[in-house]
Amino acid sequence: MPIEIEKKYRLTQQQADALAARLDEIGAEPSDSDFEVNTLYSSQTLDLDGAILRLRRIGKRAILTFKKRFPSHSSIKRQLEEETSVEDAEAMERILDRLSFKPSLVYEKRRRTWNYHSTEIAIDELPFGWFMEIEGEESDIVAVERVIAVERLTVEEATYPALTRQHGNVIGDRIEARFT
Tell me which residue of 60, 41, 52 sits closest to 98, measured CA to CA: 41
What are the tens digits of pLDDT across the range 79-92? 999 999 999 999 99
Give the pLDDT score at 82. 97
Give the pLDDT score at 78. 94
**What is the Cβ-side half-sphere exposure of residue 7, based on CA atoms within 13 angstroms?**
20
Query: Which 3 state secondary structure label does DSSP give 55?
Result: strand
Report the 10 Å Cβ neighbour count for 114: 20
Alpha-helical runs (H) found in the chain: 13-25, 44-49, 89-98, 138-148, 160-167
Q: Residue 62 and residue 121: Cα distance in Å, rounded? A: 21
Give the pLDDT score at 46. 81
Give the pLDDT score at 166. 97
Mind listing the domains of the chain with CATH numbers? 3-177 (2.40.320.10)
For the chain (180 residues), the mean pLDDT of every run of 10, in chain order, is 93 97 97 95 82 94 94 91 96 96 97 97 98 97 94 93 97 96
Give the pLDDT score at 32. 83
For the whole model, what pTM was predicted? 0.93
